[in-house]
Structure 1
Amino acid sequence: MARNSGANEKASNLATDENGTAVNSKLFDAISNVLDQSGVQYEILSRAATIQAQKITEHHSDRVLNLTNDLRDLAVQFTQTNSVGSAWADYVKDAGQRVALTMDALRERGDVFIEHEAAGCPPVLAYDYEVIVDGAELDRPCNYQLLRIVPPQGIDVDDHKRPYIIIDPRAGHGGGIGGFKSDSQVGVALAKGHPVYFVSFGRDPVEGQTLADVMHAEAGFVRTVSVRHPKSPQPVLTGNCQGGWATLLMAACNPDLTGPLVLNGAPVAPWSGEVGENPMRYNGGMLGGTWQPMFWSDLGNGKFDGANLVMNFEQLNPSRNYFGKYFDLYRDPEAGRQRFIDFERWWGGFFLLNEAEIRWIVEKLFVGNRLVKNTAQLEPGVPIDLKAIKAPIFVFASHGDNITPPQQALNWIAETYADEEEIRVRGQRIIYMLHDEVGHLGIFVSSKVARKEHAGLASTLETVEAIAPGLYEMVIDNIEGDGVDKSFEVRFVERTLSDVAALDDGRQDETSFAAVAQMSELQAGVYETFGRPAVQTLSSPVMARVLRDAHPLRAQRAAMSSSTVLGKGIETLAQNARAQRAPADAENPFLKWEKLTGEWIEQSMDLARDLRDAWYEASFFAIWGGPFASWFGQRNAARRTLPDPATLRDLPEVSAVLAHMRQGGLPEAVIRILVLLADSHKGFRAEILHRWAHIFHHEAPFKSLSVTDRQRILHEQSLVATFDPKGAVETLPYLLPDKALRIEAVELVKHIIGEVRTPSKELEEMADLLVRVLDYSGDAGTEAKPASESSPARSRKRKVASKPSLN
């Protein structure tokens, strides 16, 4: 009995020790987690402060130094001026006239605004157009329309060429920015003879309209264009900004739409960005998340006013939007007037969204980041999986874009695919382009971009089906000439997801956004339960209209129009100024003083903006970056589950292809050789792609194949080269059993690739290996020898004679 009692006591003590150890272990893990999160928060805050301080110091120190030197030079000029009084008189007269002309331009802007509003804010296209499909007449009505661009005089369009469909962003402004001027996306496509269509939208959404209705309408538009051009390839879909992610939604929900997708500055992964940059991504955490658009929609009687979005954009760069563009107009009102009016016609056209539309955009995309997590739905039971997209995808981003930085445009790729090999397994082609400095709007409207990036892209889209599945960067270099004489070279360089990840400074900062998403859901629920009933009771159509008219962006335009007493007086002053116009001499020192004064004002406003952004970022991470925030947002922090890259080779579609790698003929062999060479060199020039595409579509042995068969062979041979490159080479003789076929295959490859130009070592080794395996001599009458009997000297000779150039 005593022994049993002692054993029980010993067991009890052991259990107590084990429980205590378990409790201590959990406590230790919790403390470690808190310390780790605190360390991460400190590191992010420290890095943000360092980057912001360095950026502010370097940028503004240089500007202050330059302005100081300019002021010193101006002071010297004043001392050397013979008649300061005369220069002052000339300047005052000139400045007074320019004030009158500037005010008159603002008056005209007000008139254009009122006229544009009265007309329902039609597209601001620089081209004539006709309505092909009106979304209001569809079974699921919406305020979208399909327009056909009427080619201007002197431009011939070939209806057999691939059509272009441009989808503009619905983010507060109206449609038309993609065809705002001749050097534009529309202009580039028309100049190459392509039919061009435009997806536009009205100012007022249809009652009850949702983004699902819009998606179905846009998919119908694409099918309509395809029917109108039955002998053309599938249309190219170009989505600008928010039109970009809308294009992805449509393609994911309609995999039969296989024409190339072009995404320009599209924020698909809105949590992404660099610490110390991109302040707009913090808005959700600092402004309240989803309940804000819900509240403003309720005040708008179910409609969200897009002017609020435009104001957010303006506040990103106040020196430009509140001073710079007006100062530029004032300095040269005659030359800048029309350009100012044309742009303001679009910038000042404010569009509405239904509450359901803006709520989905904020909740599912910008705050929730659900599109890249594969948890977003437009309709119940219909998930949006970006992997379902069959069409090639082009992504254009810029380091100078502070609205959609490259990380937001590109990080969705790594969130969707395990690695670049999975992209190949799925037969997908993703090509991205990076610009060094152009801003967000410049991606759509810049002549510089239109003449280079969009022109290079337009020529490449014609041949994209010939490129092997994978991830590529499109590089434009060797630029020569200017204007219409500008020439450049386009190269495609194979990339990995690691290359895309290197554009970011890490993903640890995104944990804070998960906490914001969780808080946004809670706030939305509280507002919907307690706040919404009261706000909706107070709202009415009349009140909504009054609030919209009183919005600062509308009020400032209407106040200057000719319908006001102020506007009529301005028109009279401007007429007198034009009649007596006497511009001051360009060397007038007071003109230089005026310019420097404007630069000092912009400098001060930019400094205030940068200090604001630094405070904004620090506040965001101080609130949402700690251990509690990390715990609070852990439900929303989970990312999409991706397959293990090591298991991709065992997928049924891959195993089936590898099991039959010895089967095939000349088409399979040529494609396999091209893929092997491209893989070894990690890229190729666009001119090679163009030649390859022409042969792929129009010459033997490929022209007799159907489009489906060509794509199937290209996909299969890419898988063989990716998952068993050694076997891909060794089994080539089975595809080319006789000497004549081998010579034909190699000669065809040489014709496609062209002359040797600085081949890489890997390319030389692959070319040498292929020559040995195929025992290629270039003489059909010579008996083939086994690869093992080829002498090293003979192999080297063949390599020099036949090795290809991809770069």
Structure 2
Amino acid sequence: MTAMDGMFPWASYTLDAWQRSVLFLDVLRQRGNAFLEREDDPMRHVLSFDFDVVMDGSGLPRPVNYWMARMRPPPAAPTPDQRKRPFIVIDPRAGHGPGIGGFKADSEIGVAMNAGHPCYFVGFRPDPEPGQTIEDVVRAIIAFAEEVGRRHPQAEGRPVAIGNCQAGWALLMAAAIRPEAFGPLLVAGSPVSTWAGVPGKAPMRYLGGVLGGSWLTAMTGDLGAGKFDGAWLVSNFESGNPANTYWMKQYEVWADVDRAADRYLGFEKWWGGHVTLNAEEMQFIVDQLFIGNRLASGELTFSDGTRVDLRNIASPIIVFCSEGDDITPPAQALSWVSDLYRDINDLRTHGQTIVYSVHGSIGHLGIFVSGGVARKEHNEFASNMDMIDVLPPGLYEAVLQESKGLHGEELAGGDWLVGFEARDMTDLARHGGTTEEDERRFAAARRVSEANLALYRMVAQPALRAVATPPVAETLAQLHPARLSYTLFSDRNPWMAWVRQAAEMVREHRQQIERGNPGRIAEKVLSDTIEQALTAYGQQSDAARERLFQVIYDSPLMQAMTGLAAETAPPRPRPGETPEHRRFVALATERLRARMTEGGIHEALLRSLAWVRLSTGRADERSFAVIRRIREAYGRQTLPLPEFKRIVREQFFMLLVDEAEALATLPQLLPADPEKRAEAFALIRSVVDATGDIPPQEAERLATIERIFLGEPDPAAGGKVRRLRPAGSTAA
């Protein structure tokens, strides 16, 4: 604290505030210049890792502006293990440029490379190829995944693919069309069931209905001469949080400009990297997904007749979302599961494994930007993909706890221990969904949107297309407020010419003041007041939008005009059991019953472990670590991971079909040699013991398996099981 600060606190505050203002203007100037520098860069990205482009979507039969690169591990990262699954990170094309998945060291890409996995990144150029559609993008993702699979023939299992936000539903579409190309899928902050939500939250789901549908999307594309400017998507995103957009984001930099500038400029490099979509692409997204909700209902069909049914996905799906996410709340990320599957048995008979994790507070961008999330959730997912891939079909929640001090701490992959606990559809309902009233409202909004779009195309579209020539579209794009907020503060503006020199002078004579200065205290009070006012405005605006949507689409007149009042069937179809699927399940059940006595020690071990674990409904990272060590000791080739997965699923289904018969036939799978039986049971016990205390029901089942493997109780030994050799034998 300077003498001036002590004697004249308000004078020192005035000087500090003026200096901060000059430095803040210089930050905005640097931000604007960086924006202009990137405008003409065809490979615009914010990746912090080096890479080599290995495939360009412009060379595909249906060209797209996407490209795929192989990431080069930084010096501190291990050399990629060719036996490990490759990872593919796909960034969202939702107004911003690519690279947020590898924005910094603690990121999805960084986590994958630090775990020794080969890693690929799918990015895109700022402008789409002529005629490019969402269907073309989905098929490009398939082509990229197939190329990665060809490049890694030694890997155990197909590539892991991560889709962030908009890329999440595109990835699910790709895996539904070509399931054999993909390993486990991780979709982070991805809206799939777009009608779902919780009353009083997720206000963006009402926006399409309040605006009268997708005709505005079509008009925006026409004004862009056939292209949809991603700056509109950015503006729409920002409108959801006026307190941050109009005040806090800038104030936090101004208040701490000496330290906050670099972080702010780094993020703005991505935030201001606006890209475009073809108008047809954006129309598909709004009509089919945001307003139509056809992906979650199983109604989506591509132009060539291909039906996109997410129930066709053969690999595990990991859904990561957050209660603090207003863009993709948990209901929109999760409700598609209960939309597509009647109950947990329906999900299982489709052979599907779904794992979900709901963060308590992180915002939308934090799901794939936050370093803390990368070090915790993403690190655990990456470390346990093989375990997730072999989980029996069902619904699981990933539960993380600190590993320090736990039994078997050394078996955990890091500071956190993950367990996968069996869940039911009722557990998903706790995070929201759609009520019958919501269904009718959104169904009415969908029909109104279709009518308004048809009316716009007939009346206004021809005239707008004639007026909106490419030069006009380019002028409108440059005048967009999201772009002007950058260019007005760049060196392109003559008024900013003095800022750079003034900022250099300020840095030479910078006089910071203490946080306890009365001026700083008053400044913080004023800032908090502004933030609270803008937050209240946002909340009231959201509540008004929700109420307006309900009033409009609840009205008997609107229900009658859209034809819903006369319909007794549900307002949207839900995929149900087909005769073909029922026949498939019946035939599969017959085959499983007939094969219960087929196999050997591998089948016996995995059937026994599955039965013991069924009592707790939990799979633990520590147990799988023991299994992994056993596989390494005996050689991976003895039981490759795909074969391991096949046996686990088959034995699990046998237990579901007829638990009593599956146990009764278990001895027929065991070798006659007592020594080998004892060694086999020792393996089972080592896996079960890895978690520490064994619950009573699980201990009872383990005792049953012990009797099957080692023999009946010996009366001479006081009723204890006669052991053929110690269960903890090092022969394991």
Give the TM-score of the pair, scaled to structure 1.
Answer: 0.83
Contact kept in structure 2, 1:768 and 1:795, CA below 8 Å: no
Q: Which residue number in structure 2 is paired with residue 256 of structure 1?
A: 180
Aligned residues: 707
Matched, 1:471 2:405: no
After superposition, give the CA deviation of every residue in 1:17-65 in whole Å (9 maximum; x if it has no partner). xxxxxxxxxxxxxxxxxxxxxxxxxxxxxxxxxxxxxxxxxxxxxxxxx
Which residue identity is paired with 2:100? I
Matched, 1:652 2:581: no
1:502 pairs, out of 422, 430, 448, with 430
- Report 1:347-366 matches (<5 A): 347-366=271-290
Q: Which residue number in structure 2 is paired with residue 492 of structure 1?
A: 420
Instruction: Name whichever structure is richer in helix by fraction.
Output: 1
Distance 1:337 1:708, change over 3 A: closer
- Report 1:597-746 matches (<5 A): 597-630=526-559, 632=562, 633=564, 637-643=571-577, 651-695=586-630, 699=634, 703-705=637-639, 708-736=642-670, 738=672, 739-746=674-681
Matched, 1:123 2:57: no
CA distance in 2, matches of 1:570, 1:636: 63
2:261 pairs, out of 337, 360, 367, with 337
Contact kept in structure 2, 1:123 and 1:175, CA below 8 Å: yes
Contact kept in structure 2, 1:378 and 1:384, CA below 8 Å: yes
Cα displacement (A) at 1:511:
2.8
CA distance in 2, matches of 1:698, 1:324: 56
Cα displacement (A) at 1:666:
1.0
- Report 1:489-638 matches (<5 A): 489-504=417-432, 507-508=435-436, 509-630=438-559, 632=562, 633=564, 637-638=571-572
After superposition, give the CA deviation of every residue in 1:389-413 in whole Å (9 maximum; x if it has no partner). 1121111111111111111111111
Which residue identity is paired with 1:582? Q
Contact kept in structure 1, 2:225 and 2:465, CA below 8 Å: yes
Q: Which residue number in structure 2 is paired with residue 397 of structure 1?
A: 321
CA distance in 2, matches of 1:444, 1:408: 17
CA distance in 2, matches of 1:529, 1:675: 61
Contact kept in structure 1, 2:5 and 2:12, CA below 8 Å: no
Cα displacement (A) at 1:709:
3.7
- Report 1:769-780 matches (<5 A): 769-772=704-707, 774=708, 776-777=709-710
CA distance in 2, matches of 1:791, 1:678: 31
SS of 1:430's partner is strand
Cα displacement (A) at 1:121:
6.1
Distance 1:755 1:557, change over 3 A: closer
Which residue identity is paired with 1:168? D
Q: Which residue number in structure 2 is paired with residue 215 of structure 1?
A: 138
Q: Which residue number in structure 1 is paired with residue 61 of structure 2?
A: 139
CA distance in 2, matches of 1:708, 1:154: 31
Contact kept in structure 2, 1:274 and 1:505, CA below 8 Å: yes
1:794 pairs, out of 702, 719, 730, with 719
Contact kept in structure 1, 2:622 and 2:690, CA below 8 Å: no
Cα displacement (A) at 1:648:
8.7
Q: Which residue number in structure 2 is paired with residue 374 of structure 1?
A: 298
Cα displacement (A) at 1:464:
2.8
Distance 1:649 1:121, change over 3 A: closer
Which residue identity is paired with 2:370? S
After superposition, give the CA deviation of every residue in 1:400-434 in whole Å (9 maximum; x if it has no partner). 11111111111111122232223333332211111
Indicate the structure (1 or 2) with the bigger Cα radius of gyration: 1
Which residue identity is paired with 2:247? F
Matched, 1:290 2:214: yes
Cα displacement (A) at 1:120:
3.6
Distance 1:303 1:649, change over 3 A: closer
After superposition, give the CA deviation of every residue in 1:87-118 in whole Å (9 maximum; x if it has no partner). 01111111100000001101111101111112
Contact kept in structure 1, 2:5 and 2:513, CA below 8 Å: no
Cα displacement (A) at 1:572:
2.5
Q: Which residue number in structure 1 is paired with residue 86 of structure 2?
A: 163
Contact kept in structure 2, 1:269 and 1:372, CA below 8 Å: yes
Which residue identity is paired with 1:729? L
CA distance in 2, matches of 1:108, 1:649: 63
Which residue identity is paired with 2:34? V
After superposition, give the CA deviation of every residue in 1:437-477 in whole Å (9 maximum; x if it has no partner). 11110011101101111111111113333322222111111
Which residue identity is paired with 1:554? R
1:440 pairs, out of 364, 368, 383, with 364
1:201 pairs, out of 98, 101, 124, with 124
Cα displacement (A) at 1:695:
3.7
CA distance in 2, matches of 1:750, 1:630: 62
Distance 1:154 1:728, change over 3 A: same
CA distance in 2, matches of 1:268, 1:794: 57
CA distance in 2, matches of 1:629, 1:749: 63
Which residue identity is paired with 2:69? L
Cα displacement (A) at 1:562:
0.9
Structure 2 gaps of 5+ residues are 406-412
CA distance in 2, matches of 1:438, 1:565: 41
Which residue identity is paired with 1:670? L
Cα displacement (A) at 1:644:
8.8
CA distance in 1, matches of 2:5, 2:678: 85
CA distance in 1, matches of 2:502, 2:663: 81
CA distance in 1, matches of 2:653, 2:716: 32
Distance 1:642 1:790, change over 3 A: farther
1:747 pairs, out of 669, 679, 682, with 682
CA distance in 1, matches of 2:433, 2:299: 26
CA distance in 2, matches of 1:770, 1:647: 33
Distance 1:279 1:796, change over 3 A: farther
Seq. identity, %:
37
Contact kept in structure 2, 1:492 and 1:683, CA below 8 Å: yes
- Report 1:72-151 matches (<5 A): 86-120=8-42, 122-151=44-73
Which residue identity is paired with 1:501? A
- Report 1:402-413 matches (<5 A): 402-413=326-337
Contact kept in structure 2, 1:666 and 1:741, CA below 8 Å: no
CA distance in 2, matches of 1:796, 1:504: 50
Contact kept in structure 1, 2:224 and 2:473, CA below 8 Å: yes
Q: Which residue number in structure 2 is paired with residue 3 of structure 1?
A: none
CA distance in 1, matches of 2:470, 2:609: 64
Cα displacement (A) at 1:658:
2.1
Contact kept in structure 2, 1:466 and 1:689, CA below 8 Å: no
Structure 1 gaps of 5+ residues are 1-80, 778-783
Contact kept in structure 1, 2:69 and 2:121, CA below 8 Å: yes
CA distance in 2, matches of 1:445, 1:501: 27
Contact kept in structure 1, 2:298 and 2:575, CA below 8 Å: no
Distance 1:765 1:751, change over 3 A: closer
CA distance in 2, matches of 1:389, 1:694: 30
Give the TM-score of the pair, scaled to structure 2.
Answer: 0.91
Worse-matched range after superposition: 416-425 or 674-683? 416-425
CA distance in 2, matches of 1:301, 1:627: 39
Contact kept in structure 1, 2:688 and 2:694, CA below 8 Å: no
